[in-house]
Structure 1
Amino acid sequence: MNRSFEKSNKMLGRALEIIPTASQTFSKSHLQYPKGHAPMFIERGLGSRVWDVDGNEYIDMVNGLMAVSLGYNDPDVNRAVMEQLSKGICFSLPSELEYELAQLLVEIIPCAEMVRFGKNGSDATSAAIRLSRAYTGRDKVAVCGYHGWQDWYIGSTARHLGVPQPVRALTQTVPYNDLEALENILKTETYAAFILEPMNVELPRPGYLEGIRKLTESTGTVLVFDEIVTGFHYALGGAQEYFGVTPDLSSFGKGMGNGMPIGAIVGKKEIMKLQDDIFFSGTFGGEALSLAASIAAIKKMKREPVIKQLWSFGGRLSAAVEKVIAANGLGDVLSLKGLDPWKVLSFSGRGDVSAMAVRTFIQKEMIAQGVLLLSSHNMSYAFTEGDHVAVVSAYEKTLDALASGLKRGTLVAEMGCPVIEPIFKVR
């Protein structure tokens, strides 16, 4: 299908003059989409669909980087937001919504004895690290996964420009599923915390999560689960409920507000009480619209089979795509990793064609077929049977074209756009 991106491209040119990367989020920016063959700006969304500024319609498999768990313009969330809007947004004292949402989280999340709110995942993970340092009296932190943009974490990645070396030296990266590597550093030096995504593209090996729980307890290290992605996708209580391992602290965000800006740090009372002494405070931490949205979203997740449907449609889609991959002989360049609510596309090169070239081609062709795709299946409750059929059909056409291009040896030459450059790899 021929799609025009004329308005998108013109708007991109104007935006780049006054907004670095023309976006507030690297993963939403033009840097992560095939140049000239993808929308740069979205105008509206409804259910599982979005429309760009040129009027093109897409099934959205990105869903606001997993922030939209129920679907765009969910009527229950919208109703709660509109009702609260008529009452007020930001008050001079806390609102009762703060207690109501905190109580909901305490009821459903295994480690949650106390709760504090922020505006995003980075707020929550950074609060967890400060709490851990205050609780233990230690400075160093071990990390495993992606944990936000603040200095304490981003200094450990390739995107560390602007982070002082003494700050960078306090954070140690540890490979996932390597209990021995974690044991080596925790028994060599004292660490305030080990923060990890309990599950990412790789399944935890049998005993791994249980092992890090025992190891952190024996070394006096605070165990923090970063559940920004896994929360409200794998189980209502997050990966800690799904895997049956309870951390000391956890961070949540993304799907808990169905697109509204909210994050939460939850955990053991003896650690969380130190919030009285550390300074984790913000004018908009109790912003009422996001609290109302989150309450409505979580109540809907409790009331309806939201999580079950993420698993069901995610599993069916993964199985169908894997059949298409096999039918086209592409198992060496494309595979799916992770659990069904969040399957990640893993790209590999073949011959002179790089992994990023394969990704670029797939994104370009899927967008041409009306599917907005980054590099994962971010499932939402609004995904329908019709969406499933359409996405599988798009994959059939895309992967057939990929196989043909690789066979001819002309894939990159015929792509018509530069190969996307990776931001950095942490998963």
Structure 2
Amino acid sequence: MAASIGNFERSNQLRELAHRLIPGGAHTYAKGDDQYPVLSPGFIAKGLGSHVWDVDGNEYIEYGMGNRAVGLGHAYPSVVDAAMRRLQLGCNFTRPADIEVECAQTFLETVTSAEMVKFCKDGSDATSGAVRLARAATGRDMIARCGDHPFFSTDDWFIGDTEMNAGIPEAVQRLTIDFQYNSIESVRALFDRFPGRIACLILEASRGDDPENNFLHEARDLCHRNGALFILDEMITGFRWHRGGAQQFYRIEPDLSCFGKALGNGFSVSALAGKREYMKLGGLEQTDSPRVFLLSTTHGAETHCLAAAIATMRIYQNEPVIEHLYNQGQALRDGIAQAAARHGLGAFVQATGRACCLTYTTLDQDGGRSQAFRTLFLQETIKRGVLMPSLVVSYTHSNEDVARTIDAIDGALGVYRQALENGVDNYLVGRPSEVVFRRFNTRAVPVRELEPAANG
């Protein structure tokens, strides 16, 4: 791995073309150029285990892991082999494939609090399916979502409740209301304010901090007393907190739950699961209630993706994946804390969250969260061969990876210290990154800013 990385010539050429062809230059907002420094890889060519290589041949230890979708490691051999074997038999047919039943059985063996499951392709499909099912089951139209949790769906019911709500009818925006995590009072207040209107609560079981004062169970009980469904979004917590999801870790049975990301180790598969009494409303057996058009996706049960999911779940069942994620995450947290202390930056840069799913904070001179300092930190760790929009480890992150990452962070912190003393603008090349959910672009990102000359 190169000690210092600075050549992004091919990436910069592709950036200019990408922005002409693709709105935002990428198909996922979190992967967009506005989320990264100017001095960063624009495009990844390949990945293996915990490492990726960009189109210019630069190698990185990687900690985004496909926005947390790759829990085992990139191109994990047994998962790829399972997908390839199925793909050679065809991936999409006129009638269901037998692997759909096998995958459902494997999922329900793994997530034991669910009774039925339906597969789809991404998290938005699953969460929006859960919301529709809750509305049908209750005959109500309002959705209460946790305002502390950043993302649930690309669909109107959620995006209408964000700053980036252009194109969402105002009538739809008014149907989603917010409560706060670990505040049972805020949940109770919504039921008091909108009696008989709320179809469901949807939240993540945790973003890192554990629920306090029995919050999850209290919120579920409030839902049931008020005739609403309790939905857990397990896109991130599933296959990280526990192989059976955070619901098994916290011993809470939701009415519905949504899984994805690490379920297929990067292959496109997600799941809506839950209690039979609700899930069957999207089936063919009930005759006493209207049919729910639940999930019907042409590609939702592609056989190679389900094969990848089965192989992935078997590994989680039989190997110490979760333990490894916790161990390596804790080693990272400890090493970063020690490095920050050496530079006198313990109050400015911290690894946060659960060890199996870390992120980090970057504060400015006044102790406020800073996009400029976050961008500088990314810039300097990228230079040192680490790509870390977060600190999410995989099963293939080795002890050597962790040690080299801490060394890279130690070097980046030296620059961070100087930037606190002399001004971040003197060390950051180009503009700072932005938050995803913003009503306006504060400035256009001129593609010419990304030309190779900017690498100097």
Q: Shift of residue 246 of structure 1?
A: 1.3
**Residue among 409, 417, 424 paired with 2:430:** 417
**Residue among 363, 367, 374 paired with 1:348:** 363
Contact map agreement 2:5 2:385 (CA 8 A) in 1: no
Range moving further from structure 2, 91-100 or 201-210: 201-210
Q: Shift of residue 101 of structure 1?
A: 1.1
Contact map agreement 1:89 1:289 (CA 8 A) in 2: yes
1:27 is aligned to 30
- With the length of structure 2 as denominator, give the TM-score of the two structures: 0.90
Distance 2:429 2:301 in 1: 47
1:61 is aligned to 63
Task: Say which SS state the counterpart of residue 89 (structure 1) adopts.
Answer: coil
Structure 2, unpaired ranges of 5+:
284-290, 439-456
For residues 182-331 of structure 1, the aligned pairs below 5 Å read 182-189=187-194, 190-276=197-283, 277-279=291-293, 280-331=295-346
Alpha-carbon distance change, 119 to 315 in structure 1, aligned in 2, over 3 angstroms: same
Letter in structure 1 aligned against 2:101: Y
1:16 is aligned to 19
Distance 1:334 1:46 in 2: 29
Letter in structure 2 aligned against 1:175: Q
Does residue 382 in structure 1 map to residue 396 in structure 2?
Answer: yes
Distance 2:415 2:175 in 1: 47
Task: String of CA shifts for 1:324-381, please: whole Å, max 9, x gaps.
Answer: 222222233222221111012123222498611110010000100100111x211110
Letter in structure 2 aligned against 1:414: Y
2:407 is aligned to 393
Distance 1:202 1:161 in 2: 32
Distance 1:31 1:225 in 2: 30
2:9 is aligned to 6
Q: Shift of residue 85 of structure 1?
A: 1.1
Task: Say which SS state the counterpart of residue 198 (structure 2) adopts.
Answer: coil
Contact map agreement 2:364 2:420 (CA 8 A) in 1: no
Contact map agreement 1:141 1:192 (CA 8 A) in 2: yes
Contact map agreement 1:353 1:412 (CA 8 A) in 2: no
The CA RMSD measured in Å over matched residues stands at 1.4
Task: Give identity over the alignment, percent.
Answer: 37
Contact map agreement 2:5 2:58 (CA 8 A) in 1: no
Distance 1:16 1:70 in 2: 32
Task: Say which SS state the counterpart of residue 51 (structure 1) adopts.
Answer: strand
Contact map agreement 1:203 1:338 (CA 8 A) in 2: no
1:180 is aligned to 185
For residues 82-101 of structure 1, the aligned pairs below 5 Å read 82-101=84-103
Contact map agreement 2:83 2:307 (CA 8 A) in 1: yes
Range moving further from structure 2, 48-57 or 353-362: 353-362
Q: Shift of residue 180 of structure 1?
A: 0.2
Does residue 334 in structure 1 map to residue 349 in structure 2?
Answer: yes
Contact map agreement 1:4 1:54 (CA 8 A) in 2: yes
Distance 1:63 1:22 in 2: 20
For residues 158-169 of structure 1, the aligned pairs below 5 Å read 158-169=163-174
Task: Say which SS state the counterpart of residue 278 (structure 1) adopts.
Answer: coil
Contact map agreement 1:110 1:240 (CA 8 A) in 2: no
2:375 is aligned to 360
Q: Shift of residue 410 of structure 1?
A: 2.7
Task: Say which SS state the counterpart of residue 341 (structure 1) adopts.
Answer: helix
Contact map agreement 1:49 1:58 (CA 8 A) in 2: yes
Distance 1:254 1:285 in 2: 14
Distance 2:20 2:162 in 1: 28
Contact map agreement 2:348 2:367 (CA 8 A) in 1: no
1:127 is aligned to 129
Q: Which runs of 4+ in 1 moved over 6 A?
A: none
Distance 1:54 1:2 in 2: 10
Distance 2:157 2:329 in 1: 34
Task: Say which SS state the counterpart of residue 125 (structure 2) adopts.
Answer: helix
Task: Say which SS state the counterpart of residue 364 (structure 2) adopts.
Answer: coil
Letter in structure 2 aligned against 1:61: Y
Task: String of CA shifts for 1:364-421, please: whole Å, max 9, x gaps.
Answer: 00100100111x21111010111011101011111122112212x2322221221111
Task: String of CA shifts for 1:128-185, please: whole Å, max 9, x gaps.
Answer: 0000000000000000122021101111011111111001100002121111011110
- With the length of structure 1 as denominator, give the TM-score of the two structures: 0.96
Distance 1:347 1:196 in 2: 26
Distance 2:8 2:217 in 1: 50
Task: Say which SS state the counterpart of residue 427 (structure 2) adopts.
Answer: helix
Distance 1:315 1:193 in 2: 35
Letter in structure 1 aligned against 2:430: C
Contact map agreement 2:113 2:253 (CA 8 A) in 1: yes
Contact map agreement 1:111 1:248 (CA 8 A) in 2: no
Letter in structure 2 aligned against 1:338: G
Contact map agreement 2:133 2:292 (CA 8 A) in 1: yes
1:142 is aligned to 144
1:78 is aligned to 80
Number of residues of Structure 1 aligned to a counterpart in Structure 2: 422
Q: Shift of residue 105 of structure 1?
A: 1.6
Letter in structure 2 aligned against 1:385: N
Distance 1:26 1:404 in 2: 31
Distance 1:353 1:128 in 2: 37
Task: String of CA shifts for 1:231-262, please: whole Å, max 9, x gaps.
Answer: 01110011101111111100000000011011
Range moving further from structure 2, 52-61 or 277-286: 277-286
Structure 1, unpaired ranges of 5+:
none
Letter in structure 2 aligned against 1:285: G
